[in-house]
Structure 1
Amino acid sequence: MRVLYRNKSEQHELTVYETKRLYGEKGHFRVLQFSNDAVQGAMDLEEPSRIVLEYPRAMLHLMEQNDPHFNRAFVVGQGIGTIPSYLSDRQVKVAELDAEVVEISQHFFGYKSSSVLVGDGRELLEREQAGTYDYIVIDAFTATGTPEQFTNRSFFSMVKDKLDENGAVLLNVFGRSGNDKLVNAIYTTLGTAFPYIRAFALPAEPNVVQNRILMGSHRPIDVQVRLMAGFVEENLEEGHIIEG
């Protein structure tokens, strides 16, 4: 591993490094890592346009499968810019709390797509007009996981208002595989705002910390399992409703 950059910003401990092996795959990768060794983005330097991590591939499939002609999206959480770069031919707004993450995405990962609004993602989304977006994507993390402000009932109610009549929200949340009480609660709370909800994760042994994808929609959610980058549907237990 060769470290290219390391710094502690106001929000994160940030590291950019290059490695010849990532999750068992050989190659030449450049990685953005946050606190606690959490990989937030990875680029294949031999094929920069390839999406390396499974969860953005799965989220993008869900978006394209359920609305092939969508045009307007709001993304909370920049990372290296994987999702907005892929959607560069559409109208995408990106919100990122940490200005240093934006600079890293541009300098080390060549991000050139939609301009990024620096600030609190929830506050920035609240300023948008009602009924504006086809999709809202929440891909925000702190050292302790998904910020609570993106998981409660009032947030999902606001998200519902910002979506058009056929819109949907996708969340990438950190949780333990199996019966994670917080993930169950986020999923149940999501269901207070949207009539259709589904959950997906990579198969794993119990209690492995992993990305979990939750989706809430105004209409039935379609999925092609073979295009989900290994993610499979989960039947989550009912959890408590997160007020706020």
Structure 2
Amino acid sequence: MEQYLFKEDSNNQELQVYDTTKLYGESGNFRVMQFANAAIQGAMDLNDPKRILFEYPRAIIHLMECNTPSFGDVFMIGHGIGSIAGHYVDKRFKIAELNDKVVELSKQHFGYNHDNVIIGDGRQILEHEESDAYDYIIIDAFNEKGTPLHLISKDFFQVTKEKLHPYGSIIMNLMGKGNNDRLMNAIHTTLNEEYDFVQSFQLPSESATDVKNIIIIGSSSPIVYQAQHMAGFIRIELGQGHIIRDSKHR
């Protein structure tokens, strides 16, 4: 049974917040932010608000803490309910989010209490940041077609490398079919044009054609992780793909 707290079209985007007693087969007391086509953007366990429900933010947090334990500065594109930034009280996050209503709802219904979100296009905001400013750049942004093209192009990855410390990393949360996905192969290959070390991880699924969360991390330093702390994500080897370049109509 779903109890709606908010439901409207905002900036041409369907947006809902509701409470439910069932989430992905688990019984409990949950609050969900959802976009169009049943795309859940974030969820909170109302009985344990500090618990991070989804696997992908837990895996990203592990990669961050494992590769640069003393990290301090993070730039993030895509806010949702603020699970990753809200997890830290002693780190400096700057977050870019296109939809101001998403930020408002994260504060009103999910307890997000930081004042570090800028409304606007994440790439444009990042382009105006200082060079060598960040330990991590995290991409967790989706529209109805998936991750926007201008956030997965060679030109964009050049920008991210300029804004990261020499030892910094870019971490991307994507949706795809793993090594059977032409776009995932292209993103991996394009990222490898700018970063010496690239690794990819996915959640296991019953079918190779299932769409699932895929995490890709790029760095100028060797990437380390502990498999038991990757929240179920397993390493995969993506194939060679084409180089993604900016659209002339961006």
TM-score bin, normalised by smaller chain? over 0.9
What is the alpha-carbon root mean square deviation over aligned residues? 0.9
- Structure 2 unaligned spans of 5+: none
SS in 2 for 1:112: coil
SS in 2 for 1:108: helix
Match of 2:11 in 1: 10
- 8 Å Cα contact 2:179-2:239 kept in structure 1: no
Task: Pick the aligned partner of 2:220 from 214, 218, 221.
Answer: 218
- 8 Å Cα contact 2:5-2:19 kept in structure 1: yes
How far did 1:129 drift?
Answer: 0.4
How far did 1:176 drift?
Answer: 2.3
Distance 2:67 2:115 in 1: 23
Match of 2:116 in 1: 115
Give the letter for the 2:140 counterpart. Answer: D
Match of 1:60 in 2: 61
Match of 2:239 in 1: 237
How far did 1:114 drift?
Answer: 4.1
How far did 1:177 drift?
Answer: 4.2
Match of 1:130 in 2: 131
Distance 1:212 1:28 in 2: 27
SS in 2 for 1:27: strand
How far did 1:9 drift?
Answer: 1.0
Identical amino acids, percent of aligned pairs = 47
- Structure 1 unaligned spans of 5+: none
Match of 1:72 in 2: 73
- 8 Å Cα contact 1:88-1:114 kept in structure 2: no
Match of 1:168 in 2: 169
SS in 1 for 2:71: coil
How far did 1:175 drift?
Answer: 1.1
Count of aligned residue pairs for this structure pair: 244
Task: Pick the aligned partner of 1:228 from 216, 230, 233.
Answer: 230
How far did 1:131 drift?
Answer: 0.4
Cα deviation, 1:208-238, whole Å, max 9, x if unaligned, reads: 1111100000100001010011000011111
How far did 1:178 drift?
Answer: 4.3
Match of 2:101 in 1: 100
How far did 1:134 drift?
Answer: 0.3
How far did 1:174 drift?
Answer: 1.2
How far did 1:23 drift?
Answer: 1.0
SS in 2 for 1:200: strand
The correspondence of residues 27-66 of structure 1 with structure 2, limited to 5 A, is: 27-66=28-67
Distance 2:152 2:136 in 1: 17
Distance 1:26 1:216 in 2: 36
